[in-house]
């Protein structure tokens, strides 16, 4: 027997097995769609792992504004009528909770005795009947606001009426003070169009920064 013929005879069973090998790989994909999919393409075997949809849990943020995302979250100085607060921006300089707060740069002097920082909610009013607005305000050391200076939270209802929180006297010592406003159950609280921090009653010149944080409802 010639050597070439002998080689073909010896390789015969392996050639037959090789021709069945790709079909054997195809069996799991046909019988069980959940198994990894095996397919042949241009004489080669490609393996593609099954992909199952990932279950992503909903991330629920607390209601309100914490300023920890690096932005003012819609808050800005309202200088239209009360110019004591000239700028409001997120800052990592101080915080009550988390990493940041809203830095309210102030310029009180002479006839300027009040200032506001607010967030406009008119595009998507909040239904807050029965809720309480809460926040923390940091007052730095060495401030001399004069007698009667105070801070409070305010909300504007759907009918344009203001819902006022109680006045919190501004202390002379440094620290965080709590602010709160009960929104009640009236129709105005069903459509809150803005929330604001108001500083008023400042009788002495002051240029400095107050920090608002953890505004919740």
Tell whether 160 and 211 lie within a shared domain: yes
Tell whether 112 and 191 lie within a shared domain: yes
Tell whether 154 and 204 lie within a shared domain: yes
Tell whether 70 and 44 lie within a shared domain: no
Contacts of 191 (CB under 8 A, 6+ apart): 125, 126, 127, 157, 158
| This model's pTM is above 0.85 | no
| pLDDT greater than 80 at residue 199 | yes
| pLDDT greater than 90 at residue 49 | no
Tell whether 121 and 185 lie within a shared domain: yes
DSSP designation for 63: S
Number of domains in the chain: 2
Is 100 part of a structural domain of the chain?
Answer: yes
Maximum mean pLDDT: which of 29-33, 44-48, 140-144: 140-144
E strand or H helix at 3 = helix 3-31
E strand or H helix at 5 = helix 3-31
**pLDDT tens per residue, range 50-98:** 333 333 232 334 589 999 987 899 999 999 878 999 999 999 999 999 9
Domain coverage including residue 30: 3-48
| pLDDT greater than 60 at residue 47 | no
Is 154 part of a structural domain of the chain?
Answer: yes
CB of 67 closer than 8 Å to CB of 213: yes
Is 56 part of a structural domain of the chain?
Answer: no
The token duo for 162 is 């203001």
What is the predicted pLDDT for the residue at 70?
76
3-state secondary structure at position 120: strand
Is 162 part of a structural domain of the chain?
Answer: yes
What's 95's domain CATH number?
A: 2.60.120.260
């Amino acid at each position: 027997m010639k050597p070439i013929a002998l080689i073909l005879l010896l390789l015969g069973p392996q050639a037959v097995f090789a021709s069945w090998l790709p079909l054997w790989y195809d069996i799991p994909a046909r019988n069980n769609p959940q198994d990894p999919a095996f397919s042949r393409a241009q004489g080669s075997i490609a393996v593609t792992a099954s992909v199952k949809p990932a279950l992503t849990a909903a991330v629920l943020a607390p209601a309100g504004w914490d300023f920890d995302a690096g932005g003012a979250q819609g808050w800005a100085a309202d200088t239209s009528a009360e110019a004591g607060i000239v700028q409001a921006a997120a800052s990592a300089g101080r915080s009550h909770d988390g990493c940041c707060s809203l830095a309210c740069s102030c310029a009180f002097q002479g006839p300027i005795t009040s200032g506001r920082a607010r967030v406009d909610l008119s595009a998507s009013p909040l239904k807050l009947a029965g809720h309480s607005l809460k926040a923390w305000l940091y007052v730095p050391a060495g401030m001399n606001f004069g007698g009667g200076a105070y801070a409070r939270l305010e909300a504007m209802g759907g009918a344009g009426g203001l819902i006022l929180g109680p006045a919190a006297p501004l202390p002379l010592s440094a620290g965080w003070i709590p602010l709160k406003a009960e929104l009640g159950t009236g129709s105005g609280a069903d459509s809150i169009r803005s929330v604001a921090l108001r500083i008023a009653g400042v009788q002495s010149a002051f240029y400095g920064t107050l920090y608002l944080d953890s505004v919740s409802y």
